[in-house]
Amino acid sequence: MMYPFMTLNDDTEITHSEMKADGSVKVYIETPDEVGGFHNATCWLPAYKWENIEGYSDTEISYFKQLIRKNAHLIIEFSQEGGVLNAATS
């Protein structure tokens, strides 16, 4: 299951999985494009392993890398609590 984490001003959605048995968390980034498709990328925490990058420029990926690094502690915490919405009610 993927949980919402953040929506940026350009409608980019950042979601994350629950924490896996090995301690990893999948972070998925998706931005709608002008032709009805999506740009997307996946980052695995805590290793910061990026994969399946499609449609983003190097500058955009650099921005996302910084954003995920600055928020990784929150994403990892929320991944253990059923997402930010469940963490907020705990």
Task: Print the domain residue range for 29.
Answer: 2-89
Q: Would you call the peptide bond into 46 cis, given omega within 30 degrees of 0 as the criterion?
A: yes
> Looking at this protein, which amino acid is placed at residue 77?
E
Q: What percent of the chain has pLDDT over 90?
A: 81
Please tell me whether residue 40 adopts helix, strand or coil conformation.
strand
What pLDDT sits at residue 89? 54
Spatial distance between the Cα atoms of 15 and 7, rounded to a whole number of angstroms? 9
> Could you read off the pLDDT of 9-41 as tens digits, one per residue?
999 999 999 999 999 999 999 999 988 899 999
**CB of 45 within 8 A of CB of 24?**
yes
In total, how many domains does the chain have?
Answer: 1
Give phi and psi for 41, each to the nearest 5.
Answer: -160, 155
